[in-house]
Every structure is written in C-alpha cells, then in structure tokens.
Amino acid sequence: AYAKKRGIDFADLTDEMLQQANRQKEMQHNFSSALRNGEFVSFYQPKVDTETGRIVGAEALVRWIRDGVVIQPDQFIPALEKAGMTEQLDLFILEEACKNLRKWISNGNEDMVMSVNFSRRDLEDPQLSEKIIHIIEKYHLNRKNILVEMTETTSEQEKNLMMRFMDTMSEHDIMTSIDDFGTGYSSLSALRDYTVNEIKIDKSFISHDELQDKDRAIIGSIIKMAELLHVDVITEGVENMEQVQFLQDLGCTKVQGYLYGKPLPPEQLEGMLDRQAAGMIHS
C-alpha cells in the first residue's frame, strides 16, 4: 500500500510540475498585454509606529487582477523573474506608488515614506538607477519619501551590482532597505557592504507560536547591531499584540502586519490616512 501510495504521489507531482511549467509559459506570454491592459495594480500595506499607532508609511505590493480574480505576487513574480521580466513591472508599480504618494503628501501626509520592491534581477539593467530617479523626479517627490526594497543577494557577481546600485541610490538621497533580512546567506556582510538606510526583519523570525529566548536573542542582536550602524529597523508579519510587545521590548517600534492592516487598494489606504488626519484635528 505504501509503494502504491508513493507511486500515485509521484504521478501527481509530475503532472503538477508540467502544469506549472505550462502556466509559467502562458504567464510570460501574457505579461506584456496584461501590463498594457491595466491588469496589474498596486496595493498598499500601512507601516505603523507601534508607540503612536500612527501610519508612517506604506509598502506598494503588486496584484494581478485577471478576469476579476486577484492573483498574489508569489504566483507570478518567480516566473517573471526567471524570464527577466520584472523590471518593467517594478518600474510601473514605482510610478503608481509615486502618483499616489504625490496625492497623499498633498493631503497633509508630508512625512509618509513609500516602500517599493525591486527584484534583484532588475540589477542586470545598468540603467535601472537612472530609470528610478527619473520617475521619482517626474512626480516632484522629495527623495527622502521613497524607500527601495531589495532582498539580499546570493552570488558574488550580483553582490557587486547591488553594492553599486545601493551607492547610486544613496548619492541621490533615495533610501534603500534590505527586505526579508536574516533569511539570506550573508546578512551580516550585507550590512557591512551595502549602503542601506533600513533593514526589514523577515516575518519568519516572529511567526512561531511562542516567541522564545532564542528569538529574543537573535532579533535583539539584529536591532542592536542596526542601531550601532545607524540603520533603521522595521519588522514585517506582525499579527498580534504579543509580537508588538515583544518587539517594543527589544527596541523595534516600526512594523507592518495584518494586525494593523493588510495590503489595500489605494483608495482604502487613503481613507485610513484621512481618518488619521481627522483624528488629529479633533483631539
């Protein structure tokens, strides 16, 4: 029975792999027209200061709306990365984010910091920095209002590209963040080698059922190290008050997570910002 079961599992797996390969091809094929047809949209997740409860920024996260169904990035970003097609999408999301930020700043949220994700594959384009700068300038944004997020690199070649990219961003006052910090091969050397303004502690560090001494030691050390290096810290994936308390005790008060808000369509985040501003007036 065991062998039979294994056989069935294996057959299912192969089938699934084939299907996935086909899906990938189809997606790559459809990507350009989807972009033209406006099927890609940007959602925004609030970044919150847990001490004040205020929204201090947002992260732009792409969604693919296809036949009315919302497709999450994990379902198409990997395929686009393999095909080297993320740059166009990332620049599009940056532009959408800049458009919205322009409006929100005009509505009185001057200190709002907008994070935008860029794939490491995008570094293969030597013009990437220029393209980013061009878009930010087009919307007359203060460059301090934009934070470029990128995950840690794995190869030496990519690392050199990323170092140069981070340096150029810094020269132009555009802030950078290392996303999913702590999950890469070389988080410590990343902190040493890259000119970054922020690290974003990966949600896996706080997602255990019970946070233990080990977690406290690791996250606490990351926060202390970042402090000594004058690098900002934000933690993602915060879903309950226990985690908020745990992070506050260790000195991290900037968070993102479902507890404070899921990624939302721009109108909805704008509503949250408006309510926040109204609260200030009444209090």
Residues 6+ apart with CB under 8 A from 131: 91, 125
Question: Of these, 74, 210, 213, 267, which contacts ligand C2E (CB under 6 A)?
Answer: 74
Nearest distance from C-beta of residue 264 to Mg ion, angstroms: 16
Query: Where does this chain touch ligand C2E (CB under 6 A) — which range of 133-141, 167-175, 233-241, 265-273?
Result: 233-241
Nearer to Mg ion, 96 or 149 (CB): 149
* Residues 101-140 within binding reach of ligand C2E (CB under 6 A): 117-119
Query: Which x/- pattern over 103-122 shows residues binding Mg ion (rule: CB under 5 A)?
Result: --------------x-----
Selection from 54, 42, 50, 98 nearest residue 273 by Cα = 54
Nearest distance from C-beta of residue 141 to ligand C2E, angstroms: 18
Check residue 263 for interaction with ligand C2E (CB under 6 A): yes
| Site size for ligand C2E (CB under 6 A) | 24
Check residue 50 for interaction with ligand C2E (CB under 6 A): no
Query: Where does this chain touch ligand C2E (CB under 6 A) — which range of 69-77, 159-167, 223-231, 266-274?
Result: 69-77
Check residue 45 for interaction with Mg ion (CB under 5 A): no
Nearer to ligand C2E, 2 or 84 (CB): 84
Check residue 90 for interaction with Mg ion (CB under 5 A): no
Tokens of 215: 């977690």
Following CA atoms 248, 170, 54, 261 in sequence, which dihedral angle do they give, to the nearest 10 degrees?
Answer: -90
Nearest distance from C-beta of residue 67 to ligand C2E, angstroms: 19
Query: Where does this chain touch ligand C2E (CB under 6 A) — which range of 18-26, 138-146, 237-245, 268-276?
Result: 237-245
Question: Of these, 27, 114, 236, 269, which contacts ligand C2E (CB under 6 A)?
Answer: 236
Query: Where does this chain touch ligand C2E (CB under 6 A) — which range of 68-76, 153-161, 162-170, 224-232?
Result: 68-76
Question: Of these, 27, 58, 91, 93, which contacts ligand C2E (CB under 6 A)?
Answer: 93
Taking the CB of residue 18, how many other CB atoms lie within 10 A of it?
A: 10
Residues 6+ apart with CB under 8 A from 182: 201, 202, 204, 205, 218, 222
Nearer to ligand C2E, 48 or 141 (CB): 48
| Site size for Mg ion (CB under 5 A) | 4
Check residue 176 for interaction with ligand C2E (CB under 6 A): no
Residues 187/152, Cβ–Cβ less than 8 Å: yes
Selection from 45, 110, 108, 50 nearest residue 281 by Cα = 108
Per CB under 5 A, residues contacting Mg ion are 117, 149, 179-180
